[in-house]
Protein backbone atom coordinates (compact mmCIF):
# COMPACT_ATOMS: atom_id res chain seq x y z
CA UNK A 1 0.00 0.00 0.00
CA UNK A 2 1.07 3.55 -0.52
CA UNK A 3 1.12 6.75 1.50
CA UNK A 4 -0.30 8.69 -1.43
CA UNK A 5 -3.44 10.43 -0.10
CA UNK A 6 -5.19 10.17 -3.46
CA UNK A 7 -4.57 6.42 -3.62
CA UNK A 8 -5.82 5.99 -0.04
CA UNK A 9 -8.94 8.04 -0.83
CA UNK A 10 -9.57 5.96 -3.94
CA UNK A 11 -9.26 2.77 -1.87
CA UNK A 12 -11.73 4.16 0.63
CA UNK A 13 -14.11 5.01 -2.19
CA UNK A 14 -13.72 1.45 -3.48
CA UNK A 15 -14.61 0.08 -0.03
CA UNK A 16 -17.74 2.18 0.07
CA UNK A 17 -18.66 1.02 -3.43
CA UNK A 18 -18.19 -2.63 -2.42
CA UNK A 19 -20.40 -2.09 0.62
CA UNK A 20 -23.12 -0.50 -1.49
CA UNK A 21 -22.89 -3.38 -3.98
CA UNK A 22 -23.23 -5.94 -1.19
CA UNK A 23 -26.32 -4.19 0.16
CA UNK A 24 -27.78 -3.82 -3.32
CA UNK A 25 -27.22 -7.51 -3.96
CA UNK A 26 -29.05 -8.36 -0.73
CA UNK A 27 -31.96 -6.11 -1.66
CA UNK A 28 -32.29 -7.58 -5.14
CA UNK A 29 -32.31 -11.14 -3.79
CA UNK A 30 -34.94 -10.20 -1.22
CA UNK A 31 -37.10 -8.56 -3.89
CA UNK A 32 -36.70 -11.37 -6.43
CA UNK A 33 -40.05 -12.08 -8.03
CA UNK A 34 -41.64 -15.43 -7.21
CA UNK A 35 -42.22 -16.07 -10.92
CA UNK A 36 -38.46 -16.04 -11.53
CA UNK A 37 -36.34 -19.00 -12.61
CA UNK A 38 -38.18 -22.08 -11.25
CA UNK A 39 -34.87 -23.83 -10.60
CA UNK A 40 -33.85 -21.08 -8.17
CA UNK A 41 -37.12 -20.94 -6.21
CA UNK A 42 -37.38 -22.61 -2.84
CA UNK A 43 -39.98 -25.36 -2.71
CA UNK A 44 -41.55 -27.42 0.04
CA UNK A 45 -43.88 -30.37 0.32
CA UNK A 46 -46.52 -31.12 2.91
CA UNK A 47 -48.68 -34.17 3.38
CA UNK A 48 -51.79 -35.34 5.20
CA UNK A 49 -53.87 -38.48 5.61
CA UNK A 50 -50.79 -40.66 6.05
CA UNK A 51 -49.24 -39.36 2.83
CA UNK A 52 -52.32 -39.92 0.69
CA UNK A 53 -52.59 -36.15 0.12
CA UNK A 54 -49.47 -34.24 -0.95
CA UNK A 55 -49.06 -30.55 -1.73
CA UNK A 56 -46.03 -28.76 -3.16
CA UNK A 57 -45.59 -24.99 -2.76
CA UNK A 58 -42.90 -22.71 -4.16
CA UNK A 59 -41.35 -19.47 -3.01
CA UNK A 60 -43.81 -16.63 -3.14
CA UNK A 61 -46.54 -18.77 -1.55
CA UNK A 62 -47.69 -20.36 -4.79
CA UNK A 63 -49.24 -23.80 -4.89
CA UNK A 64 -47.40 -25.88 -7.49
CA UNK A 65 -49.24 -29.18 -7.20
CA UNK A 66 -51.70 -31.24 -5.18
CA UNK A 67 -51.92 -35.02 -5.38
CA UNK A 68 -54.77 -36.96 -3.78
CA UNK A 69 -55.01 -40.73 -3.60
CA UNK A 70 -58.26 -41.56 -5.48
CA UNK A 71 -59.26 -44.05 -2.76
CA UNK A 72 -59.54 -41.13 -0.33
CA UNK A 73 -62.64 -39.95 -2.25
CA UNK A 74 -64.65 -42.57 -0.37
CA UNK A 75 -64.19 -40.47 2.79
CA UNK A 76 -66.25 -37.67 1.22
CA UNK A 77 -65.47 -34.32 -0.33
CA UNK A 78 -65.37 -32.44 3.00
CA UNK A 79 -62.78 -34.85 4.40
CA UNK A 80 -60.64 -34.64 1.23
CA UNK A 81 -60.78 -30.83 1.31
CA UNK A 82 -59.76 -30.86 4.98
CA UNK A 83 -56.75 -33.07 4.19
CA UNK A 84 -55.77 -30.79 1.29
CA UNK A 85 -55.83 -27.79 3.63
CA UNK A 86 -53.64 -29.63 6.16
CA UNK A 87 -51.14 -30.67 3.45
CA UNK A 88 -50.95 -27.17 1.95
CA UNK A 89 -50.51 -25.55 5.37
CA UNK A 90 -47.74 -28.04 6.23
CA UNK A 91 -45.98 -27.23 2.96
CA UNK A 92 -46.32 -23.48 3.57
CA UNK A 93 -44.93 -23.85 7.11
CA UNK A 94 -41.92 -25.75 5.74
CA UNK A 95 -41.42 -23.14 3.01
CA UNK A 96 -41.59 -20.34 5.58
CA UNK A 97 -38.86 -22.07 7.61
CA UNK A 98 -36.69 -22.42 4.49
CA UNK A 99 -37.13 -18.76 3.55
CA UNK A 100 -36.24 -17.67 7.10
CA UNK A 101 -33.12 -19.87 7.10
CA UNK A 102 -32.10 -18.54 3.69
CA UNK A 103 -32.56 -14.94 4.84
CA UNK A 104 -30.51 -15.60 7.99
CA UNK A 105 -27.72 -17.12 5.88
CA UNK A 106 -27.74 -14.08 3.57
CA UNK A 107 -27.64 -11.67 6.49
CA UNK A 108 -24.83 -13.64 8.16
CA UNK A 109 -22.81 -13.64 4.92
CA UNK A 110 -23.35 -9.90 4.54
CA UNK A 111 -22.32 -9.29 8.16
CA UNK A 112 -19.07 -11.22 7.60
CA UNK A 113 -18.37 -9.32 4.40
CA UNK A 114 -19.14 -5.94 5.98
CA UNK A 115 -16.97 -6.85 8.98
CA UNK A 116 -14.07 -7.44 6.61
CA UNK A 117 -14.78 -4.19 4.81
CA UNK A 118 -14.87 -2.37 8.13
CA UNK A 119 -11.43 -3.72 9.08
CA UNK A 120 -10.11 -2.80 5.66
CA UNK A 121 -11.61 0.69 5.90
CA UNK A 122 -9.93 1.25 9.28
CA UNK A 123 -6.58 0.31 7.73
CA UNK A 124 -7.28 2.60 4.76
CA UNK A 125 -8.21 5.49 7.05
CA UNK A 126 -4.97 4.98 9.00
CA UNK A 127 -3.02 5.08 5.73
CA UNK A 128 -4.95 8.13 4.60
CA UNK A 129 -4.27 9.89 7.92
CA UNK A 130 -0.56 9.07 7.72
CA UNK A 131 -0.42 10.27 4.14
CA UNK A 132 -2.12 13.54 5.08
CA UNK A 133 0.30 13.98 7.99
CA UNK A 134 3.19 13.43 5.57
CA UNK A 135 1.75 16.01 3.18
CA UNK A 136 1.30 18.52 6.00
CA UNK A 137 4.85 17.88 7.22
CA UNK A 138 6.21 18.40 3.69
CA UNK A 139 4.19 21.60 3.32
CA UNK A 140 5.48 22.84 6.66
CA UNK A 141 9.07 21.98 5.72
CA UNK A 142 8.57 23.66 2.35
CA UNK A 143 7.20 26.74 4.07
CA UNK A 144 10.23 26.86 6.39
CA UNK A 145 12.58 26.54 3.41
CA UNK A 146 10.79 29.36 1.61
CA UNK A 147 11.04 31.57 4.68
CA UNK A 148 14.76 30.82 4.97
CA UNK A 149 15.31 31.62 1.29
CA UNK A 150 13.74 35.06 1.74
CA UNK A 151 16.17 35.98 4.52
Domain extent listing, the chain: 5-144
Burial of 44 (0-12, 13-18, 19+ CB in 10 A): buried
pLDDT tens track for 91-126 = 999 999 988 887 777 777 777 777 777 777 778 788
Percent share of the chain, pLDDT over 70: 76
For the ranges 41-45, 55-59, 114-118, 144-148, which has the lowest average pLDDT? 144-148
pLDDT of residue 146: 53
- Kindly tell me if the per-residue pLDDT of 5 is higher than 70: no
- Contact criterion met (CB below 8 Å) for 50 and 87: no
> Which one, of 96, 77, 89, lies nearest residue 47 by Cα?
89
Considering the domain 5-144, what is its CATH architecture? Answer: 2-Layer Sandwich (3.30)
Amino acid sequence: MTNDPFSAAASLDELLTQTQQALSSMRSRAAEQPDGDPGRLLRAEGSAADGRVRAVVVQGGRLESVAVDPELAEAGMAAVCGHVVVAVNAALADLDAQVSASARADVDALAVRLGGLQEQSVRQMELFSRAMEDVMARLNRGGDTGARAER
